[in-house]
Copies of this chain bind each other. A is one copy, B any other.
Amino acid sequence: MKKHNFGAGPCILPQEVYTKASQAILDFDNSGLSILEISHRSDAFVDVMENARSLALELLGLENKGYQALFLQGGASFQFVMVAYNLLENKAGYLNTGRWAGNAIKEARNFGEVLELGTSVDKNFNYIPEVKSIDDRLDYIHYTSNNTIAGTQMQSFPKGKAPLVVDMSSDIYSREIDYSQFDLIYAGAQKNIGPAGATLVIIKENILGKVSRAIPSMMDYQVLIDKESMFNTPSVFSIYTSMLNLEWLKKQGGVPAIAKLNKAKADLLYAEIDRNPLFEANVNSKNVRSMMNVTFQIKNKELENKFTTLSQEAGVHGIKGHRSVGGYRASLYNALPISSVEVLVSVMRELEKIS
C-alpha cells in the first residue's frame, strides 16, 4: 500500500516523477543507456541541465531579470558556508528564527561579524521576531523563510540597503510571493524541488565580486555561473529528477495553482487542530503558521500511543515531531495530495470519538 507520506524531507514527490525516473534508470530517453551512465557533457544531459535551470527561474517569475540558477551539491548547510565565503566582508545581519537559521549564523561567524536582527529563541522559535531596524552598512541580510522544525513561516521580509539572502529550502515553489525581492535564494532540493543530492541557488550576479578573500573555485558563485553549473560532474540523477518535478509543477499550473492547493491543505489541517479538543497547535499566531510544516501536540500524552496506532493503520507516515519540540509535525509539501490530509484529519476525529 502506498503510504500517506507527511515526512519533513526528503519528502514525497509526484507519482509521475517516480515512474519517469524509474524508467530513465533502465533506459534514458530511448538512448540505450541508463541515466546513471550518461556523460554529464553529453548533449542530452546538457539539455536536462539547461531545462532544469530555466524552469527553476521561470516558475518563480524570475526569468530575464538578471538571475542565474545553479544546481549544486552539499545542501543548504553548505550554502551557509558559501554565502558567507562569497558575500561576507565585514558584517551581515541574520534573523534567528530556528535551528537552521542558527546554524547559518554559526557558519557565517567563521568569516565575519554577524549581527542578530532578532531572535525567537526565548519561546523555542514558535514566533517570528520583529526586525526593528536594519544597519545600512551590512554586507547582506539573511532570512530563513520557513522553519521546518518550529513550524513558522515568514510573511514579509524587511529590507534595508543590503542584498537580501533567503534560505527557502522548505517553501520555495509552494507559495505566491514576490521572489524578485531577493538577491540570492537557496534551497536543498529534497522538499519541493526534487530528491536529495541537489541544491538550488538562484542569484543576482551583481551582488558578487565584493569580498577580498580568495574563494576556492568549487565555492565561487561566479566560477559556477561562468561554467553554467558544470564546473565538475554534477549530481546527474538528482538534477534530472528535479527537472521532472519542475515540469510536473508547471503542468499543474505552476506556483499560483499549487499555492491554492497548499493553502487548502493547511487550512483543513489547522482547522481540525483548532477544533478538536484533543489537539493544540505549537504556533499560536495564525499569520506565521507554516503552510508546509504543521506542528502540533496531543494535550493528553497518554493518548499518543493510540494516535500512533490509528495513524499507522491508516497508512499515515512521517508525522513524528522533531526531537527538539516533540509532538507531531505534518509536512504538506507540493506533491502531497489533499486526500492524504483528509485521511490524517479523519484519524484525528477517530481518536476524538474513541477517547
Contact = CB atoms under 8 A, between A and B. Distances in A.
B217 A77 contact: yes
Contacts of A218: 74, 77-78, 80-81, 107
B19 A26 contact: yes
A10 B190 contact: no
Given A197-B236, A197-B237, A231 B315 contact: no
Contact of A40 (B23, B196, B318): B196
21 contacts: A7-B37, A7-B38, A7-B39, A9-B233, A10-B38, A10-B40, A10-B236, A13-B34, A13-B36, A13-B37, A17-B36, A19-B26, A21-B36, A73-B73, A73-B78, A76-B232, A80-B216, A197-B198, A197-B236, A235-B235, A237-B237
Contact of A219 (B9, B81, B233): B81
Interface in A82-114: 103, 106-107, 110
Interface in A194-253: 195-198, 214, 216-219, 231-238, 241
A271 interface: no
Contacts of A39: 7-10, 318
A22 interface: yes
Contacts of A21: 25, 36
A233 B2 contact: no
Number of this chain's copies in the complex:
2
Given A18-B34, A315-B32, A190 B9 contact: no
Given A10-B37, A73-B74, A197-B237, 15 more contacts: A8-B39, A10-B36, A11-B37, A21-B25, A22-B25, A40-B196, A74-B74, A74-B78, A75-B232, A76-B232, A77-B218, A80-B216, A107-B216, A188-B233, A197-B234
Contacts of A25: 18, 21-22, 25
A306 interface: no
B196 A235 contact: yes
A1 interface: yes
Contact of A195 (B12, B73, B237): B237
Contacts of A263: none
A217 B107 contact: yes
Contacts of A231: 77
A37 to B, nearest CB: 5
Interface in A1-49: 1-3, 5, 7-13, 17-19, 21-23, 25-26, 31-34, 36-40
Given A33-B5, A36-B241, A190 B22 contact: no
Given A22-B26, A73-B197, A197-B237, A5 B37 contact: yes
A349 interface: no
A185 B181 CA distance: 44
**CB-CB nearest 5 A-B residue pairs:** A197-B235, A77-B232, A73-B73, A22-B25, A81-B216
Contacts of A190: 233, 236
A1 B235 CA distance: 26
Contacts of A2: 32
Contacts of A195: 36, 236-237
